[in-house]
Amino acid sequence: MACSLRNHQERLGLLLLERQQEFSEAERQLAYQVVNLCALALRQARLYETTQAQVKELERLNLLKDDFLSTVSHELRTPMTNVRMALQMLQIACDNPKKQQHYFAIALKECNRQIDLINDLLDMQRLSAEKYLLQPEEIFLPHYLRDLVATAQPLVQGKKQNLQLHLEEGAPLLGQIPRL
């Protein structure tokens, strides 16, 4: 006797039963019940595999989310650390107007950097919603790097270290994604 294992219209397999004599009606009914249970078990095994694959994908996405949040928190904390350092230096330099102005400028620049980071996060959200088309623009790398080094100088000086930037002449322009 041959019994087809089916999942709706899909054929999953075939159960072959052999015997010297003909199967009774009760044996046929039992065979059909076994076939239905086997088909159900195969469907559940497939669903389990699909579910396991989805669980693994969700775990991967959760790790990516955790990594993203860790990076974002670090990137948001860095300007605030620089602002705090500039404000502390501003407090120390209370009798030197030139230094006060310098540290105030650093604090203001870092506040703007913090706002830019938050705007970047909002831009990323808008991009994922596909609300904006980007037009690349060029940046001059030496200016960008000098600003970056100047931002880090108070932290470096606070640790009694020296940070220097040496650039070759003729640095190329690089593409940058503009603000939305």
- Check whether 180 has a pLDDT greater than 60: no
Residues near 172 by beta carbon (within 8 Å), at least 6 away in sequence: 141
- Going by pLDDT thresholds of 50, 70 and 90, the confidence category of residue 52 is very high
- Going by pLDDT thresholds of 50, 70 and 90, the confidence category of residue 55 is very high
Ordered by start, the domain boundaries in the chain are: 133-180
Cα separation, 130 vs 146, in Å, equals 34
Contact criterion met (CB below 8 Å) for 143 and 174: no
In this structure, of 52-56, 60-64, 166-170, the range with the lowest mean pLDDT score is 166-170
Percentage helix, strand, coil for the chain under 3-state DSSP, each rounded to 5 = 65, 10, 25
pLDDT value of position 176: 52
pLDDT value of position 131: 64
Residue 39, CA distances (Å) to 36, 43, 48, 58, 166 in order? 5, 6, 14, 28, 71
Coil/strand/helix, residue 170: coil
pLDDT value of position 125: 78
- Check whether 126 has a pLDDT greater than 50: yes
pLDDT value of position 149: 86
Q: What is the pTM of this model?
A: 0.45
Contact criterion met (CB below 8 Å) for 21 and 28: no
Judging by DSSP bridges, how do beta strands 173-176 and 2-7 pair with one another?
unpaired
* Of the candidates 27, 11, 29, 8, the residue with the CA atom closest to the CA atom of residue 19: 27
